Amino acid sequence: MLSFFRVNARYQTISLVVFFLLLRLPFFLGGTPLLIPELSWMLVGEQMGRGFMLYRDIWDNVSPFSGLTYWLIDTLFGRTQVAYQLAAVTVSIIQILYFNFVIHSREVFPERTFLPGALYALFLNISFDMGTLSPMLMANTFLLFAFGAIVKILVKREVTTQVFEMGLYIGIATLFYLPASLFMIWAFLALLFYTGSTVRHHLLGLFGSIFPLLMVVLFFYMNNGVESLNRNLLTSVFQVKQYNLNDFVSLFASLILPLGFGVMGFMRIFTTLRFVNYQTRIQQVMALWFIVAVFSIPLMQFLAPMQFVIFIPPAAFFATHYFQSFKKKSFVDELQFTFMGAIIVLIQYQGLRGVIPGVTMGKLENLRTKPASLPEQITKKRILVIGQQSGEYINNYTATPYLNWDLASYDLKNLDNFDSVIHVYDNFRKDPPDFVIDKVNVMPKLLDRVPALKEEYELSPWKGIYQKKI
């Protein structure tokens, strides 16, 4: 398989697509688990489809362009997991082909092959959760476009207006996934260390980065949503996270091979003397990518392999050098590539199908939605879950802006504050739920604070569930 992708031929572009689709085949055989963040993204798209505005009317910390994407998918296909998977396949194929195009066409390595794309395709399947359309996956596309712009600058050895293009791509990536804003530092350092850029060029790149951000802020300002944007998106990114480490073994198992081969490839660069200057600079730029990606880890909302897709470009880049450092007909590199591919596919199948009985590694149990034990009457109803939702929305619809509990607690656990009480009442009035599932015993205090709601809601026969009076 390795020697096949080392052949430089036009048909290899089609081979990359077929190779990736074969790796993703298990997703289209049915039975793919629905993940909690995936369900949350679907709910955001649904609410936006009903005319509610993100952040102001929907309290969630998904970035604005990701929210728009989920709204578009919901408008076209509804709450369909397959649509998200097909969209993820499309985005992934674009990344694979573009990454290979940049490496191949710009002669980043002495040997022109399709191995970079093959490794990228393989690393995009290190875990089954990468099969969904995550914000980080979408942001990664535009970061790759920014990388392509930097490569053009390094190859031409002159700084042009492509600096603005590079900055614009990073700004768009930030609007898909806010921690991607750290790559503004990556672009600044790349221009500073490896190009003859001037202050004017840096300012041009900075303007390209912040221009789309300013347009979004202006939109929310005109729609009375700047305060909500700040509270639900900007502030939430820098809050202290409490990660669930039960799936840490799965995360480590998924990342060890891509990062391991990437590190070995990076180490081999020091023993290779056949690179020209611009190739060496590109390697250093990609090493900077990896360092900046490390600093993005504390900003992640949760730990899962899908969040680490940002490490795939440098891993595939340096792993390419590792395998190209062998002779073309070497048995050792073929064996290593086959072993790596087999283990990655096994981890993916283990997560999806549990092919090894009794082993939970790769299944990401803490990220999977589990059907909540609700009464049969609470099906296809508009509900509010007060507390961390664990599957109540699978067969129901969300009501009120309080989708994300970490953000909703800003109001619902601060009922001694008059402004919070007013906010809660207004939100109930605009989008009243049929049922309120109270997991943290907030409703008694809320009904006591707001007599108007007490006239509309009553405790149902089921514990912790309040229903709207008929």
Question: Which tokens go with 110?
Answer: 């002495």
| CB distance 265 to 257 below 8 Å | no
Q: Are 444 and 412 in contact (CB under 8 A)?
A: no
Question: Rounded to the nearest 10 degrees, how much is the dihedral formed by the CA atoms of 297, 302, 304, 305?
Answer: -40
Order across the sheet with 382-386: list the strands. 397-398, 382-386, 435-438, 465-468, 457-459
Q: pLDDT 10s digit of each residue in the chain, 470 long?
A: 777 777 777 788 899 999 999 988 877 777 788 898 999 999 999 999 999 999 999 999 899 999 999 999 999 998 999 999 999 999 999 999 999 999 988 888 888 888 999 999 999 998 888 989 999 999 999 999 999 999 988 887 667 778 999 999 999 999 999 999 999 999 999 888 888 778 888 899 999 999 999 999 999 999 988 888 888 888 877 665 555 555 677 778 788 888 888 888 888 887 766 777 888 889 999 999 999 999 998 888 888 889 999 999 999 999 998 888 777 667 787 888 888 888 888 888 888 877 777 676 777 888 888 888 888 889 999 999 998 887 889 989 999 999 988 888 888 888 888 888 999 999 999 999 999 999 989 999 999 999 899 899 999 988 889 999 87
Tell me whether strands 435-438 and 397-398 are parallel, antiparallel or unpaired. Answer: unpaired
Query: Which pLDDT score, from 0 to 100, does residue 239 have?
Result: 65
80-86-91 Cα angle (round to 5): 130
**Would you state the pLDDT for residue 236?**
75
Task: Report the pLDDT value the prediction gives residue 255, as an integer from 0 to 100.
Answer: 84
**287 burial type by CB count under 10 A (0-12 exposed, 13-18 middle, 19+ buried):** middle
Give residue limits of the domains in the chain: 2-353, 382-468
> Could you identify the residue written with the tokens 């590190």?
263
**pLDDT for res 249:** 74
Question: What φ, ψ does residue 427 adopt, rounded to 5°?
Answer: -70, -35
Residue with structure tokens 């994407």? 69
pLDDT of residue 214: 94
Q: What does the alpha-carbon distance between residue 349 and residue 341 come to, in Å, rounded to a whole number?
A: 12
Record the pTM: 0.92
Cα separation, 322 vs 265, in Å, equals 4
CB 305 within 8 A of CB 127: yes
